[in-house]
Amino acid sequence: MNKKKLIPLLIGLSIALLTSNCQNLSTKNSVDILSQHGYCDAHTHLTTYGESAIDSLVKYNVTVVRDCGSDIVLINKWKSEIEQGKRKGPKIYFCGPMIDGRKEEKMRIAVYDTIEARKAVDSLVHAGVDFIKTHQALKPDCYFAILKEAKKMHIKVVSHLPQTVPVWMSADSGVSCIEHAAESFVASPAAAGFVNTKNDSVIFKCTDWWNSPHGDSIINHLGKLKLFFTPTLYSYKLWALQGKSKEEIDSRLYVLAFLENLTFKLHNAGVIILAGTDLYDTTWQHETPGKSLFDEIRTLEDAGLTKQEATDAATINFKNWLKK
């Protein structure tokens, strides 16, 4: 395939980037629930998808979710109703709003300096969240201030990486889990200044870098750190299949193959994979709450994990993340 055909597919994912321990988590209930043959979706946005997601998750025996960004009032309401036995639903671990560097909304707290960043962590901890979630528009100094404050407050940080922070810097600084193979991993070499970003072949330089001895060295380093990672491959696949032409779809699926291979390398190095769907948008065809988790498990198998290893990503690996 001509590499030039792949350029459009990373607009809105990595090209934007290239141009420019938790004591309050209660692990016992989730360990018990998951041991009863239930499953965990480690990346949802329940209030964005809507209340119907809860019943669908129950139908597919998803007994635990880690919600990575929702309206804190509504997610707390659902969580309380489930815990009080007023409705059936999965056990919910939630972060409330994500901390980000763009417009504030119900799903985001916008911070623009380190003081605001630390205050955001403190306010969320006092609001009773189970972990902190960061997003991609944060400035580096704000991001590292969040990691430092979270460590002080004994709470985990889960990151959709900021656009200028390489994955290994985040891992070395104490992040608990990295989200998304496409958005958080691919462009890290450019964020670190390891590849030239001045022409339209930069994405291929990044993928080449990951496939080089330099990339292998970083992958092995992340494995030694026992980093947790939620690749959300099936979510990317859904996006790929929405291409406007066969050529565009083929190009996106070509990149999916790279992401699957990268995930497999990370897994083999010792990085701990979590199964998450990025459950978010009701308009995406075939993204059914609960069912899509099993689609993610199958996609992890396509990436090279054994059936048991892919199942572990939706069961025992999440228990181990809770205990970390």
What is the share, in percent, of the chain residues with pLDDT greater than 90?
75
pLDDT at residue number 304: 98
**C-alpha span between 172 and 239 (Å, rounded):** 31
**C-alpha span between 64 and 207 (Å, rounded):** 34
How many domains, in total, are found in the chain? 1
In the three-class reduction of DSSP (H, G, I as helix; E, B as strand; rest coil), residue 108 is classed as: strand
Q: In angstroms, how far is CA 257 from the centroid of its own chain?
A: 18
Beta-bridge partner residues of 179: 230
What sections of 1-71 are H helices per DSSP? Answer: 15-18, 28-35, 46-49, 52-59
In the three-class reduction of DSSP (H, G, I as helix; E, B as strand; rest coil), residue 267 is classed as: helix
Q: In angstroms, how far is CA 181 from the centroid of its own chain?
A: 8
> Looking at the predicted structure, is the pLDDT value of residue 53 above 50?
yes
Q: Which residue has the tokens 């998808």?
A: 49
Domain range enclosing 36: 3-323
pLDDT at residue number 12: 35
DSSP state of 9: G
pLDDT at residue number 256: 94
CA dihedral sign, ordered 126, 127, 133, 137:
negative
Q: Tokens for 36?
A: 């009863």
pLDDT at residue number 80: 97
The bridge status of strand 157-159 relative to strand 132-134 is parallel
Residues 265 and 33: beta-carbon distance below 8 Å: no
Q: Give this prediction's pTM.
A: 0.88
Q: Residue 100: which H helix or E strand, with range?
A: strand 98-100
Q: Which residue has the higher pLDDT, 112 or 3?
A: 112
> To the nearest whole number, what is the mean pLDDT of the chain?
88
**C-alpha span between 56 and 35 (Å, rounded):** 20
pLDDT digits (tens, 9 = 90+) for 132-141: 999 999 999 9
In the three-class reduction of DSSP (H, G, I as helix; E, B as strand; rest coil), residue 215 is classed as: helix
> Looking at the predicted structure, is the pLDDT value of residue 271 above 60?
yes
CATH code, domain with 197: 3.20.20.140
Of 75, 86, 76, give the one whose Cα is nearest residue 45. Answer: 75
Q: How far apart are the first and last CA of the chain?
A: 42
pLDDT at residue number 141: 98
The neighbour count for residue 194, using CB atoms within 10 Å, is: 16
The neighbour count for residue 102, using CB atoms within 10 Å, is: 12
> Looking at the predicted structure, is the pLDDT value of residue 281 above 90?
no
For residue 264, give Cα distances in angstroms to 206, 271, 301, 303: 17, 9, 9, 6
In the three-class reduction of DSSP (H, G, I as helix; E, B as strand; rest coil), residue 167 is classed as: helix
Residues 272 and 228: beta-carbon distance below 8 Å: yes
What is the pLDDT averaged over residues 53-82? 97
For residue 176, give Cα distances in angstroms to 145, 281, 282: 15, 26, 29
What is the pLDDT averaged over residues 180-196? 92
Q: Which amino acid is at 251?
A: S
What sections of 19-98 are H helices per DSSP? Answer: 28-35, 46-49, 52-59, 72-83
pLDDT digits (tens, 9 = 90+) for 194-230: 988 777 678 788 999 999 999 999 999 999 999 999 9
What is the pLDDT averaged over residues 282-300? 86
